[in-house]
Structure 1
Amino acid sequence: MRILSIQSSVSYGHVGNSAAVFPLQRIGVEVMPIATVCFSNHTGYGSWRGPMLSGDNVREIVTGIEERGGLEGVDAVLSGYQGGDDIGDAILDAVARVKHHSPDAIYACDPVLGNAHSGCFVAPEVQNLIRDRVVPHADLITPNQFELGFITGTSPDTLESTLESVDATQELGPQTVLVTSLQRPDRPEGTIEILAATGKGAWLVQTPHLPFKANGSGDVTAALFTAHFRRSGDAADALARTTSSVFALLERTHASGQRELQLVESQEDYANPSMRFAVTQVR
């Protein structure tokens, strides 16, 4: 399997491609990473150093890969945080070029917009780009509960309203939707859920809710689910494998007392997930 991953890159810690690439490689995926920024660390620290790349920079790298024949045999294009609309346009261009050479490739987009606590934290032009132009071109998206509501103009909170929002998303274009950080009011205390839906059904997994923020965990989730689903076509199995791997990563990170993901230390959990959480079909 080969994935073109267009995301941020940091030298210290693990977000964007610096979170996604190693877990993918550990499960046997050939990854071609393209950086959208080259920062010292993620922006959650409040300060960072390093350059942002332009959309033209991204296009040049894609062109170089294309000249080597590297866009043939690609299974998926993966994108995450998009810092500006020029990067978004470059990603959409890359998707079109990959699908020209690899017609069966899918575009998997993590539509990073914000969260329920902070609201939208990207510029208005990026919000519009993702909602109006990027999402309709995606085959698979991995929004959190807040982002799902923003994209569809709905208020998903119950399981029923979340499924209705998923239906609205599928009408926009993407047929596979992974909803992360799902917190229903009637869920058992101290739990959090993740939902995967395709045209064939919808499946839910519930895990303990670990009380800390782990930057980059969403990037790992999107990457692993994309790879597992692309490989098997089985959303329930992909959900089970991804959830087990990411929870083990979060559990180990929380126990370490460190701010950054314990990405390397958790590598066995990507290759051989414990499959410790039950998957329930809800539609």
Structure 2
Amino acid sequence: MKILSIQSSVAYGHAGNSSAVFPLQRLGHEVWPVYTVHFSNHTGYGQWKGVVFEPSTVADVISGIEERGVLPECDAVLSGYQGAEAIGEVILDAVARVKEANPKAIYCADPVMGDVGRGFFVQPGIPEFMRDRVVPAADIITPNQFELEFLTGSEVHSVADLVAAANTLRDKGPRTILVTSVQTDETPADSVQMAVVSDEGAWLVTTPLLPLYVTGGGDATAAIFLAHVLTDGPAEALAKTADSVFGIVERTHEAGTRELQLVGAQEAIAHPSGRFTVAELT
């Protein structure tokens, strides 16, 4: 499969495309990365150097790809954090171009906006842009629980609430919803969950919650899920994604670092062990 991934990048560590590209490649997919920024490191350090590319520059790169005549070969577009609405418009234009060239292509959007405990960490207007423009254009959406609640105007306290909210989001356009960082009143202690809701059904998987916070985890999760859902059913894609993501976080925890150990955990990416059971939801 060939995937156009439009995201940020960092030289040191893993975030944006620097977190998404390697897992996609390790799973056998060809990636065309387009960078919206190129920083020395992710902004969680408080200090960084680099450049934010003008929307026109990002659009020029995409146009250059289009001029090679390869958009009909593109199977999917992947996007994540969008620093400004102007970049979002460039991404949506790219999605439209790809879909015009290949109507079977899909758009997977990770609606990065915020998280429980942190609230929103994007510019004003971006959450509404995600809700009103990105969601209707997407085929797959990968929000965390906080983002799901915002996008649907609902509160998630139970698995039933989770499925209902995902279906509300599906009514807005996307057919497949992957919800990450799920912790409802029913989630077992010291655990975190991930769920997928699609036309085929709904499934939930539970993994241990390790005591660390990493940047770029959501970017890797969206990429890994997209890689699998392009070739497998949603339930199998969920199982493999949960296994690989836990393997990455586990390796990162063992290393005692704040940067994802993607290379060190590459076998967990390429060959998920099947250690977590996916439960079908009614």
CA distance in 1, matches of 2:36, 2:71: 19
The number of residue pairs the alignment matches comes to: 282
Looking at structure 2, the residues matched to 275 and 204 of structure 1 have their Cα atoms a distance apart, in angstroms, of: 14
Alignment correspondent of 1:265: 264
Correspondences of 1:16-55 after superposition (within 5 Å): 16-55=16-55
- Give the secondary structure class of the aligned counterpart of 1:236: helix
- Name the SS for the 1:196 alignment partner: strand
Offset, 1:199:
1.4
CA offsets 1:87-146 (integer angstroms, 9 cap, x no match): 000000000000011110000000001001111111122111111111110000000000
Matches within 5 A, 1:115-264: 115-232=115-232, 234-264=233-263
Runs of 5+ unmatched residues, structure 2: none
Rounded Cα–Cα distance in structure 1 between residues aligned with 2:257 and 2:274: 25
Once the two structures are superposed, the pairs formed by residues 42-121 of structure 1 within 5 Å of their partners are 42-121=42-121
Which residue identity is paired with 1:258?
A: T
1:157 Cα deviation from its structure 2 partner? 2.2
Instruction: Name segments (4+ residues, structure 1) moved above 4 Å.
Output: none
Distance 1:186 1:37 in 2: 39
The one-letter amino acid of 1:278's match is T
Q: After TM superposition, give the deviation of residue 163 of structure 1 in Å.
A: 0.9
Whole-angstrom CA distance in 1 between matches of 2:182 and 2:211 = 15
Runs of 5+ unmatched residues, structure 1:
none
Amino acid at match of 2:250: E
> Match of 2:279?
280
Relative to the length of structure 2, the TM-score reads 0.99
CA distance in 2, matches of 1:145, 1:186: 14
* Aligned-partner SS, 1:143: coil
Secondary structure of the structure 1 residue equivalent to 2:104: coil
Cα distance, 1:188 vs structure 2: 1.6
The percentage of aligned residue pairs carrying the same residue is 54
Per-residue displacement from partner, 1:138-179 (whole Å, max 9, x unpaired)?
000000000000001111121111111111101111110000
Q: Deviations over 1:37-85 (max 9, x none)?
A: 0001101111111010122111101110011122121111000000000
Deviations 1:220-264 (A, max 9, x none): 1000101110122x0000001111111001000001001101111
Cα distance in structure 2, aligned partners of 1:153 and 1:21: 32
Given that 2:167 and 2:197 are in contact with CA atoms closer than 8 Å, whether structure 1 keeps it comes out as no
Output the CA distance in 2 between the equivalents of 1:266 and 1:96.
Answer: 35
The answer on whether the counterparts of 2:159 and 2:186 sit within 8 Å (CA) in structure 1 is no
CA distance in 1 between partners of 2:84 and 2:68 (Å): 28
Per-residue CA deviations over 1:164-214 (Å, capped at 9, x if unaligned) read 111110111111000000001122211110001101210000000011101
TM-score, L = length of structure 1? 0.98
